[in-house]
Structure 1
């Protein structure tokens, strides 16, 4: 099982009054990793996979320890745990060499922007997602 690795820079504005990265910034980190995974890495140049749109149906985040602002990026590992006819669950770990800061999951629904409604996952999209599928895939803290 492969994992998508995204190195996400931390921004000064991500820090809260207590000197650590604010919980809302984690959602941006997940979004950046997911966009890189689905729109940059997805099945090759010229492919229409995922470009028709998608919406987030659910986020779930477990914050494991504070992430202090620094100049080095944080690593966001991304993989897929569930693929249905019209949704996928993407899992993440936000970490560096020293610590695991958060675990998260997002349910993503492919969306037809022109029709304004959800759509099914295409065979090409499913084939791509299967390369990153792992039913469990969590690391013990």
Structure 2
């Protein structure tokens, strides 16, 4: 795996649930934010596209809880690409006096032609990220 992006962000008050910790669904948003920031570094995401990345699965192991006002770091890695897809891996850390691993996740991204509803080969701009 190759580390391609690191994102630091605050835990927001609204990220917490009634039990006083970050809701499990929000961890997927943290991973999404890191993934979008990484893609925006080499793609123009401001324009609609008929060929675009689609997240086809996502998984997360919750190791420790996060709470407001934690600061977190999301480290994003990519694994060897296939013809039209690649896996992403994430580590979510709580920052502070110590950097503590709180969650690990992964997902599969597939490039899809939205008109044909079929996968297409990864663009050169994406393949260049694996070098």
TM-score by length of 2: 0.83
Which residue number in structure 1 is paired with residue 66 of structure 2?
Answer: 67
Higher strand fraction: Structure 1 or Structure 2? 2
Alignment pair present for 1:95 and 2:96: no
Long gaps (5+) in structure 2:
none
Conserved? CA contact 1:8–1:32, under 8 Å: no
Moved over 3 A (4+): none
User: How many corresponding residue pairs?
Assistant: 124
Which residue number in structure 1 is paired with residue 42 of structure 2?
Answer: 42
Long gaps (5+) in structure 1:
132-141
Q: CA RMSD in A?
A: 2.2
Distance 1:106 1:122 in 2: 19
TM-score by length of 1: 0.77
Q: Give CA-to-partner distance per residue, 1:52-86, whole Å, 9 cap, x none.
A: 3111111111111111121x531100010231001
Q: Give CA-to-partner distance per residue, 1:17-46, whole Å, 9 cap, x none.
A: 1111000000111111111111x1126x7x
Which residue number in structure 2 is paired with residue 135 of structure 1?
Answer: none
Distance 2:94 2:64 in 1: 12
Which residue number in structure 1 is paired with residue 26 of structure 2?
Answer: 25
Distance 2:125 2:76 in 1: 19
